[in-house]
Amino acid sequence: MTGHGNPPPEGFPGGADDEYRTVFDESFVRAARLQEFSARERLADHEHPVRVLPPRPLRGLGLPWQGLVLTLLIVVAFGAAVYMGVRAPQQAAEPPRRQVLHSTVVPLAPQGRVPGGEPDRLFERSPAADFYEGAAGVTLPPVHGTAHFAESQVLAALAVAKEYLVESSVNPQVLNGSTDRPVRILLDPEQHPQFDRSLRRPAADGRHAATGWLVRFDPDRTALTGEGVRVRGTMEYREADGGALEVATDHVFVYAVRPAREAADGGGREASLFTVRRELLLHFDRGDLRDQQLTVERSVTQAGPMSCGARAHDVLLPLPAGRSAGDGLPPGTDPYTRDGGAPVCGTLDTDALPEP
């Protein structure tokens, strides 16, 4: 029986012309992993007739193995960067924190009777004699750019701040409670819910005082005399953290008022002066500057002459000429409840009133 141990002779099926014909070219020999020892090497080491050759680097690719590994790492890193860049916009952004107004309203009670007289004479004998009338009293400071805001942006912030002060403290329709729209449209929409809640349901809780946002009187009890509002104050600005501008305002507004019923009847000619000091901290981010809006962060209002028991967080109730604060006390405070803040009342210095 003939096996495959020896190739069959030529001319037989399966001979040298078939499967046993092999061409050992140079590339085949070089690629072989086993190499036979020479005769001299076999005499020295008869137990190992062949040696194992080390693997040869791949040819024809143009790069050694180190280059291939580095290229692979670069491709993987680039793919990861592209993947993260595509995924990042899909992640839900953290919602911006809503800015909340913190306000304080302090009634100032007179020590005696409220002086009365003709409005022009009252202004002449009061500390407001040299005040400007209306919007002219809200003046802007010198303007220059900051580290991250151009001069034009600072000027835009100051202009909106002035408009807010005029609309919320001088506009007659806002003062008598007819409308609040001129004030609302200047606020960042993030503050609209708090503003609306403050005007619908005012509360002395430091957040929802209507008079923390604007000056308003009860039209059934107080009437403006039509002599205008006298104003004086200051405005300062600075660049705040987080890429925003802050404008701090401090103004005194003086109103000539009389009781609404007497004004309607044509009697009660004596008027009185009512003074309101407003200190505001206004915030402007780049979106506010673009939309000509602002955020009111802090408001401190002092107003008098008023009774300490007046609901100053709702409307301002000036004491009429000839009246005194009496023994009126603010509403009681329950320290066991967390709703509402402690009422605050001050005393109006006699120097702040017109001379007799």
- pLDDT value, residue 60: 47
Burial of 341 (0-12, 13-18, 19+ CB in 10 A): middle
Residue 251 one-letter amino acid: H
pLDDT tens-digit readout, 93-126: 434 455 789 999 999 999 899 999 999 999 999 9
Q: Convert the pLDDT of each residue in 124-151 to its tens digit.
A: 999 999 999 999 999 999 999 999 999 9
212-258 per-position pLDDT tens digit? 999 999 999 999 998 889 999 999 999 998 789 999 999 999 999 99
58 versus 333: the higher-pLDDT residue is 333
Q: What is the pLDDT of residue 51?
A: 60
| Residue 154 to residue 284: CA distance in whole angstroms | 10
Query: Is the CB of residue 276 less than 8 Å from the CB of residue 170?
Result: no
Give per-residue burial for 96-130: e unless 16+ CB within 10 Å, then b.
eeeeebebbbbbbbbeeebbbbebeebbebbbbee
Helix H or strand E encompassing 220: none
Is 50 exceeded by the pLDDT of residue 1?
no
For the ranges 36-50, 95-109, 254-268, 286-300, the one whose mean pLDDT is highest = 286-300
- Residues of the chain with pLDDT > 70, as a percent, come to 68
